[in-house]
Structure 1
């Protein structure tokens, strides 16, 4: 059952409405929905407006939080977050340190996979937004720290950095990682990528950089072909500690 205050998606005719179950109403061009009624419903059912128009109920997944959660900046794309998870082998036994939280979208994805996530955001106002997004995602294994990753203590299986990376960040990540653990960095520019690679080479094994490019298929009556728009988003560098 849907609980009071839980985030829910209401869908009709291709439109999605990101709402909170409980007191209040949703006004649309198809009529008004009493959001209290959601707490007597289950995902997959429909709920009607006062005009009798049905809206489909869906519980948000991480991809939906990417689309609808409050943002403090441009988050990593789901395809890039997926690369981090795949290349590090992130799994339910892992303790993960995430730095450069932003809106918390990457942490939401990581929290659904790993045993625990501690995410650092140096800007307090951003950390507040992240905490709210994490709470609305229903993740109890993600801790948001308003502070500098360079002050982090403990040991981790994966360290992920999405911030203005310096040599100090790479050295500290190495110190925090358990043997066999992975460092993964997201950098939008080559200059930052070179800092990561040059600093990581003497410290880690298997330092590999991946350029992140995605291209969709375009279908028309004439036929199907790759889109001419190439979507470059950035670079992920992955390094393993011996």
Structure 2
């Protein structure tokens, strides 16, 4: 059941509105909806504007936060985050360290799966935005730390680095991982990838890199073909302790 302050998606006529239940009014060219009308609703319910247009209520999932949440930069794409989850076997028992929080999109995906997530972001303004997005996602198992992950202590099952990685970050990650745990490093450029590989090869038992490529298919009356959008996003290196 939706409560005041919860984030909600309203879907109708090929449009999506990302709103907060409670005070205020959503004004569209299809009519107005008091946001207080969302309180007590469930996903799949219908709300109607004052002009009689219906909108479907949708409870946001992590994929929706990737699309609609306020960003501080370019987050990892869902396929990239999915590769980290798949290749590390991230699960509900895991304690995860995430570094390079940005707007918190990856932390939202991880927090929906793992037992706990501690995410490090050096820029205070980015950390503050991530905290707001995580609050909107209603995740109480994710902690944002406004600091370099080099200050991190404890032990973790999975560590994800999406940042300007240095050899020191990889070396420190190796000291934080449990035996059998995984380090995932996302790197957009080959030069960064080489740094990761050259450092990790002496610290981990298994080191494997994947290029992250995805092609969306476009279907029209003329036929079906791959989209012309860029399909390459970066490289993910998975290293096992």
- Pairwise TM-score range, normalised by the shorter structure: over 0.9
Relative to 1, partners in 2 of residues 1:67 and 1:228: Cα closer, same or farther, differing over 3 Å?
closer
Unaligned runs of 5+ in 2: none
User: CA shift at 1:196, angstroms?
Assistant: 0.3
Q: Secondary structure at 1:209's aligned position in 2?
A: strand
User: CA shift at 1:125, angstroms?
Assistant: 0.7
Query: TM-score, normalization: structure 2?
Result: 0.98
Q: Residues of 2 paired with 1:133 and 1:218: CA distance?
A: 31
User: CA shift at 1:224, angstroms?
Assistant: 2.3
Name the residue aligned to 1:195.
195
Q: Residues of 2 paired with 1:207 and 1:11: CA distance?
A: 44
Name the residue aligned to 2:27.
27
Q: Secondary structure at 1:40's aligned position in 2?
A: coil
Q: Residues of 2 paired with 1:228 and 1:134: CA distance?
A: 33
Name the residue aligned to 2:78.
78
User: CA shift at 1:230, angstroms?
Assistant: 4.2
Q: Residues of 2 paired with 1:70 and 1:218: CA distance?
A: 28
User: CA shift at 1:231, angstroms?
Assistant: 1.2
Name the residue aligned to 2:62.
62
Name the residue aligned to 1:213.
213
After TM superposition, list the pairs within 5 Å mapping 1:91-240 onto structure 2. 91-240=91-240
Query: TM-score, normalization: structure 1?
Result: 0.98
Q: Secondary structure at 1:178's aligned position in 2?
A: strand
Per-residue deviation, residues 95-150 of structure 1 (Å, max 9, x unmatched) = 00000000000000000000000000011111000000001100010000011100
Q: Residues of 1 paired with 2:72 and 2:36: CA distance?
A: 29
Q: Residues of 2 paired with 1:48 and 1:229: CA distance?
A: 36
Unaligned runs of 5+ in 1: none
Relative to 1, partners in 2 of residues 1:228 and 1:53: Cα closer, same or farther, differing over 3 Å?
closer
User: CA shift at 1:41, angstroms?
Assistant: 1.8
